[in-house]
Amino acid sequence: MRAGYSVALLLALTARSVADPGTAEQAFQRGRELMKAHRYPEACAAFEQSQRLDPQLGTLFNLANCEVEIDKLASAWKIYRELAKSDPNPDRKALSSELAAKLEPRLPRLVVVVPAMPAQLAVAIDAADSSAQVGTPTPVDVGRHTIVVTAPGFASHSDTIVVKEGELTRLSVTLTPLDANAAAPRARYGKIAIAGGGALMAAGFVVGAIAVSDWHAAQKAPGPEQPAKSHHAVVLGDVSTALVVTGLIPAAIGVYLWRTSGSEAVAAPRAGVDQAGVMIVGTF
């Protein structure tokens, strides 16, 4: 008997409180027909259009009922809670409170954690400011969500995650200081310069060793051959000196870049699963 009464009451309360022969009413009635046909995405769009044109609590109630069918559970829950607080219709107010309570255990929740929170931290979930909810489980709709975390002096961080009905999903973000962003390529270029300069210097030392060996051989050569061999050894010595000096310059620059980068390596973000759900951690 109670179930039959609730169904009858639900159908009665879906009617708009004020009849409107205009476009808003047409959109509302179209939404009702689409709901009966189980065409829920189109029905929700029709109710949203009606609400934009002529805001009504009855339309909001219909929209919440529709959004439950398309897994927009948090959106529906928020509407039910709003109606449970402010709806002047006592029957609809009571039913909204009952539906919100039944829906709550099914809600997906997302908690964004930012260790060592910097000043002026801003967090947006699907472009909506959610900075006040950092560290607090926040009801969200089932499906894909984009989270953007920003703070002055830090590189912005963006993640797209998928949440499921009734689950708690954790997203942990460590922001990267802008100076640290510059450190990685600076250190990398420094190491390249050191390697290149070191290779030239090594080649110079090899040629120098050959020059020394040829010089000693020239001193032991017969008289007529000695000038030519000595000259060849001197040329090799000059080449050795040029290679060492040429390699020393980029090597010195490389050492400076590497030592002043402030970072030898930057680790990429890593993802894992904790007991409560998904955890994505960026360590820099």
Note whether 187 and 161 are same-domain residues.
no
User: What are the tens digits of pLDDT across the range 188-232?
Assistant: 777 887 888 788 888 878 878 887 887 778 777 776 777 777 778
81: number of Cβ within 10 Å: 19
pTM of the model: 0.58
Note whether 61 and 133 are same-domain residues.
no
Look at residues 258, 259, 278, 280 and name the one whose alpha carbon lies nearest to residue 269. 280
User: What are the tens digits of pLDDT across the range 42-56?
Assistant: 999 999 999 999 999
Q: Last residue of some domain: 71, 106, 141?
A: 106
Note whether 190 and 237 are same-domain residues.
yes
Domain with 7 in it: 2-106
Note whether 197 and 169 are same-domain residues.
no
Note whether 65 and 141 are same-domain residues.
no
39: number of Cβ within 10 Å: 16
Task: Determine the pLDDT at residue 266.
Answer: 35
Domain tally, the chain? 3
User: How far, in Å, CA of 158 to CA of 132, rounded?
Assistant: 18
Note whether 10 and 95 are same-domain residues.
yes
Q: Last residue of some domain: 106, 135, 152?
A: 106
Task: Determine the pLDDT at residue 284.
Answer: 30
Paired strand residues for 30: none
Note whether 238 and 144 are same-domain residues.
no
Q: The domain spanning residue 135 has which CATH number? A: 2.60.40
**Which position has the token pair 């919100």?**
100
Note whether 190 and 272 are same-domain residues.
no
Note whether 210 and 117 are same-domain residues.
no
